[in-house]
Chains A and B, each alone.
Chain A
Amino acid sequence: MNKELIRLKVNGEVHEVAVPPHKLLLDVLREDLGLTGAKRGCDDSSCGCCAVLVDSVAILSCVAIASCYQDAEIVTVEGIAPPGTLDPVQEGYALAGGAQCGYCTPGFLICTKALLARHPHPTLEEIRVALSSNLCRCTGYMQIYESVQLAIERAQAREAAKPAPVGR
């Protein structure tokens, strides 16, 4: 199959890669861009391990054909915080047991990030619904909810610690 040169904007950087036109975004991220954070967990788009943000909306990269997402802002787990730093969401999962084997974690982080961007203070029920297309086989989900709660607290604390804006 002939390859096609496509431009993808991932984690704020523009990449040009030559790939078969039908290649899936998940495979382009993992194989062509070396971004192996998003994972493949299933054959039929039913596990959520491959979630990424496309224009701030969480989607399944195993369903997306890469060449169809050339105008979008794509963010993977590697890009939810500047290199060398952690987003509150990442801190929450790292500290509260939200990541056991960690294989489902990138997908959960992406969906949590998208949720908190829309609802900074979700109820437990809203958290459960927002994470209901992500399967985790390790945690039983309890520590995932605790991780989200911790992420919310940490985000708030960071917000509070920000220097007050100058003037009015």
Chain B
Amino acid sequence: MTMPACRVARPKTVEEAVRILADSGPEAMIIAGGTDVVPNLQMKLFTPRVLVDIKPIRALAGITMVAGGALRIGALNTLTEIVDSPLVQSNYPVLVSAVATIAGPLQRNMGTLGGNLCLETRCLWYNQSYFWRKALGGCLKKEGDVCHVAPGGARCWAVWSGDSAPALLTLDAEMEIAGPRGSRRLPLAKFYRNDGIYRVALGRDEMVTAVFLPARTVGRRGLYHKLRIRDSIDYPLAGVAVALEVDRNGVCREARVAVTAVNPAPLLVNEASEWLVGQKYSPELVERVAQAAIRTGKPLTTSASTPVYRRDMLRVFTRRALEEAWKNGRD
């Protein structure tokens, strides 16, 4: 497998990067760590004319406390840097728990948070070589007009397979996005479009510059459970992140549950906050939320395990994650 020929632009500033993106239109593609882009390029899933390498942009890295107590994580911070960061560890345990499960240490050393949040959606019928897809005749997402997962449908179900996004959803994270008209903020929950092809709300001339974790979510007890076959080098087959605020009396004051790898977007389980806030722990309550999680998650045959099993595990993992966060969390 070879790389498709293309130019590589190496902007030094965000403005310059955005300008190149704007000038090159659909022919340009951002590359950060490259752990998603490069394998995809070799499979000829994309054939950009120019790769915009954003690694030289120094301003895009740095984990810092900003005014008001929010935490800013740069788009270029690597996953390893996030896991190793004392600031993240002590304030946002759910994020560490999730990021530590991504791929393996070598990929985490290269992969960036920005890249992880802008990952391509994945599907067994899509993430294949040029030859393989040719033998298949393509699919809805690429080179064809049939979805092999849901034949007859007009929608692509390629699945969101990132691990950090669900954790960040439970922390009410915001994206900082730069474009030709300057910078804007967007709640992460609004960033994803739940469409296998048009996965994120990002203009062709825009880029993610940072993620903000608000001060109000500091210290939320949380953790991430990931279904996978191997304990390393494995994308999630389903994943659940939970973050709770529990008061001294064991009453839940805030709650978020988010699921990943079961839809074209990472999604918050909306009922969770509604049902959990004001409540004390009970097995029935937790089971009810777990049931809600499997109404949110709609896995199809996009990956190795069956949809039935992935749904089942979503329920078990949601229940377990809630139990553990509730009981073992620190105050």
Contact = CB atoms under 8 A, between A and B. Distances in A.
Interface of A: 1, 20-24, 43-46, 48, 51, 57-60, 62-65, 67-68, 111, 129-130, 132-135
Nearest to B53: A68
Nearest to B41: A22
Nearest to A129: B105
A40 B279 CA distance: 54
B133 to A, nearest CB: 14
A63 B104 contact: no
Given A44-B39, A46-B233, A65-B31, A59 B3 contact: no
A58 B80 CA distance: 11
Contacts of B6: 21-22
B8 A57 contact: no
A20 B5 contact: yes
18 contacts: A22-B5, A22-B6, A43-B1, A43-B43, A48-B104, A51-B106, A58-B105, A63-B33, A65-B31, A65-B53, A68-B53, A129-B105, A132-B105, A132-B232, A133-B104, A133-B232, A134-B104, A134-B106
Contacts of A129: 105
Contact of A68 (B1, B4, B10): B10
Contacts of A48: 104, 106
A62 B3 contact: no
Contacts of B38: 24, 45, 62-65
A132 B231 contact: yes
Contacts of A59: 106, 109-110
Nearest to B127: A44
Contacts of B8: 21-22, 65, 67-68
Contacts of A22: 3-8, 41, 51
Nearest to A130: B105
B272 interface: no
B260 interface: no
B19 to A, nearest CB: 19
Given A22-B6, A132-B231, A111 B106 contact: yes
B107 A43 contact: no
B34 interface: yes
Nearest to A4: B8
Nearest to A47: B233
A159 B107 CA distance: 32
Nearest to B48: A22
Interface in B53-82: 53, 55, 80
Interface in B229-261: 231-233
Given A45-B35, A64-B38, A65-B31, 15 more contacts: A22-B4, A22-B7, A43-B43, A43-B129, A57-B80, A57-B109, A58-B106, A59-B110, A63-B110, A68-B10, A68-B31, A132-B231, A133-B104, A133-B232, A133-B233
B117 interface: no
Give the interface SS of chain B, mostly helix, strand, loop or mixed.
loop
B53 to A, nearest CB: 5
Given A23-B3, A43-B42, A64 B110 contact: yes
A62 B105 CA distance: 15
A26 to B, nearest CB: 10
B207 to A, nearest CB: 16
B103 A63 contact: no
B129 A63 contact: no
A131 B233 CA distance: 11
A132 B1 contact: no
Contact of B7 (A21, A23, A44, A135): A21
A43 B104 contact: no
A30 B53 CA distance: 23
A24 B37 CA distance: 12
Nearest to A40: B1
Contacts of A111: 105-106
Contacts of A20: 5
B300 to A, nearest CB: 22
A151 B65 CA distance: 40
B247 to A, nearest CB: 35
B5 A1 contact: yes
A1 to B, nearest CB: 4
B39 A133 contact: no
A23 B51 CA distance: 12
Interface string B98-138: 00000111110110000000000000000101000000000
Nearest to A1: B5
Given A22-B8, A43-B129, A60 B35 contact: yes
